[in-house]
Amino acid sequence: MAAESPECVDQQPTRSRVRRWWAWVPLVGLSVAVLAGVALRITGRSGAADVVWAAVTVAALLPAAWSMLRALWHRHFGVDVIAVLALAGALTVAEYLAGAVIAVMVATGRSLEAYAQRRATRDLRALLERAPRTARRRAAGGAIEVVPLDDVATGDRLLVGPGDVVGVDGTVDEAATLDESVVTGESRLVQRAAGEGVVSGVVNAGAAFGMRATKSAAQSTYAGIVRLAEEASAHKAPMVRLADRYAAAFVPFTLVLAGLAWLLSGDLVRAVAVLVVATPCPLLLATPIAIVSGLSRVARRGVLVRDGGALELLGRAQTLLVDKTGTLTAGRPRAAETVVAPGGDRDEVLRLAASVEQLSPHVLAAALVRQARERGLALTEPTDVTEEPGRGVSGRVKGRLVRVGQLGGELPEWAGRALARTELTGWSAVWVSDDAGPFGAILLEDPVRPDARRTVRRLRHAGLRRIVMVTGDRPATAAQVAEAVGVDDVVAQCTPQEKVARVRQEAERAVTVMVGDGVNDAPALAQAQVGVAMGATGANASADVADAVLTVDRLDRLADAVEIARYARRIAVQSATVGMGLAVLAMLAAAAGRLPPVAGAFLQEGIDVLVILNALRALRGGLRRRDVPPNTRELLARAAKEHGTVRDVLAGLRDTADLVATDAASPRCLPAVRETHRRLTERVLPHEATEERQLYPALTDPLGSDEATSTMSRAHVEIRRQVDLLGAQIAQADGRLRPDQVPDLLATLYGLDAVLRLHLAQEEEEFFTLDPTPERR
């Protein structure tokens, strides 16, 4: 992508700084004039001081009156009426200093509100300002041409220079180092290998690289994010409209109180004092600032909420309905296990299957290819590839015919056991066979997101009382996922129409949020008070009916959004309540003649500043999650990577246990057990020891105490004990396994398999989800 010209880059911040300073000019000018009047009064020139203060009052009265008339023309009755009456009243009773202080107060309120608005919307504006407008496209013959971004089409080859913003979604042609913080919220640089996907909006933090566009600019991720940001900036929150309704009640109350003070005392000054302390209304200052601050914060966390109304409703939500596939689960298949025929090679089965599937567009094919590349297997280009819909793909790999897909007829014993396992776990099987029959199977799963259970717990703590999973999946599979994540209820085999009915039913009882993938859940998202599209990006993100969009593929950002929304709403209500309460007390004191106009003006100035500063607290705090230091994040990333090695050992451990269970007399058994023990000793135990020495102590602060890792440390002790027991059982074998050894050996092998799998799942759920780095897609 082409970077903006230096002139444009320099001019934009200059103009922005000028606008920021210009917003404070009226306040500075009025303040200087008031101080000049004070100096005149001190030097004995009271007449001249009154003239200056009267001029300041008139200077504030004219724009306030014009604003009031415009509002009344649009049938909007707000607190400008009080400001105008207070300024006019001060001139009428010759309280020129009070009028000048009111003028400064009004200017201060407007300046602080403008500052707070700019501060709160800074992140949303940053999205709009950094959107790329041009791209470097490779023309015929290899020449590079700079073209408008809208001219880039799918399939175009582009060059992304150092520091450039990627303008369209695509795949990289070579290794690239990227800063994805704008899209994901994570500041760590990310490495992308050749062939990996890259989304628009990320910044090239390394050397120039080539890429191929897979979407146009309008369809790409960043364009959808920008459109959502524009919508979020353009809408007005119901709490702001609620503030307007309160103002409609507050203004008559103020006028009645001022009138009564004048009528009962016969002193017009008291009425003016009441009007002074009622100007301006803290409610109208506090609520929009707090709500917009919340919008800004959730945008930083990778959640774009369309308007303040949705944020305010999110802060009041009591019920959450959540889709399963793509929301609580990853939404794309993953190779969970590779099963091989006796004597087969697991890596070879996966390599052959992935080689044949390279050219297939099927989602299962992508899962096989991705798994093979993650394991570093060298894929071979297949020949004679054919695909039969519903049956699978076949092709030749170095002359060997390989079929990948479904099987018919009678299955061998090992394949029957694998098929039974898929039925119990809800997985699916892809069979790999040749002319001699099946020689392997790859078991695929849609895994539960590691952060799903922790997110559900955080949502409960934030105030959601009921969490229901709705899915079109089978009851057995749905029940497994529901139990894993800890929801209150599950509705399986649910059609889109039934989801809408369920959302409507829940919404009648409480404010309801629906979370789905933003495609087949669109009717339910539209029906809910707040619809949240999970992981939706690009053009779909702006076209969907959702009220909020998670722009990163992490469920825990939903919990971030709920916590921030509740905090922002609480700050808004707190600021408005305290401000209004103090203003009413001051008004009563003024009506009783205890607070003169000048003192009341200074007091109300302090009240307004107080509520605005308090509302700005919504920019910080409210999140239960703790920041993870960079060195701890590195340890988490390293441990997560090593889990892949541990899972490879686990796969071999399970194969060895199955071999001992089915053919203990085989001469292959004892060598297989010895090899399993060696891999456990050399790969698993060092990993566990490193976690115990380095990772767990580093997690004490993010988790709040060292007690949070105590159960995991106990698991480490049990794993070592079981491995030592396996070594002792091997030592007792005299060249072969005796029949009396088999039961104990099987108990150790299967026990290790169960303990290790549970331990890995617990670490990934409890610890690895602390790392805010999004999953690579």
Q: Which residues are catalytic?
A: 323
266: which 2 tokens? 């016969």
The angle formed by the CA atoms of residues 640, 641 and 644, to the nearest 5 degrees, is 100
The kind and range of the H/E element at 177 are: strand 176-179
Are 391 and 405 in contact by the 8 Å Cβ rule? The answer is yes
CA distance 208 to 159: 7
669: which 2 tokens? 């058994």
Q: What is the 3-state secondary structure (H, E, C) of 537-563?
A: CHHHHHHCCCCEEECCCCCHHHHHHHH
190: which 2 tokens? 């990310």
CA distance 263 to 4: 66
How far from each other are the two terminal CA atoms of the chain, in whole angstroms?
Answer: 22
The angle formed by the CA atoms of residues 352, 353 and 358, to the nearest 5 degrees, is 100
Q: What is the 3-state secondary structure (H, E, C) of 21-88?
A: HHCCHHHHHHHHHHHHHHHHHHCCCHHHHHHHHHHHHHHHHHHHHHHHHHHHHCCCCCCHHHHHHHHH
Structure-token match 């779909």, residue found: 540
How far is residue 554 CA from its own chain's centroid?
6
CA distance 558 to 302: 9
Beta-strand relationship, 134-138 and 144-148: antiparallel
Are 469 and 489 in contact by the 8 Å Cβ rule? The answer is yes
Are 593 and 644 in contact by the 8 Å Cβ rule? The answer is no
- Residue 332 is given by DSSP the state S
CA distance 323 to 494: 10
Structure-token match 């800004």, residue found: 296
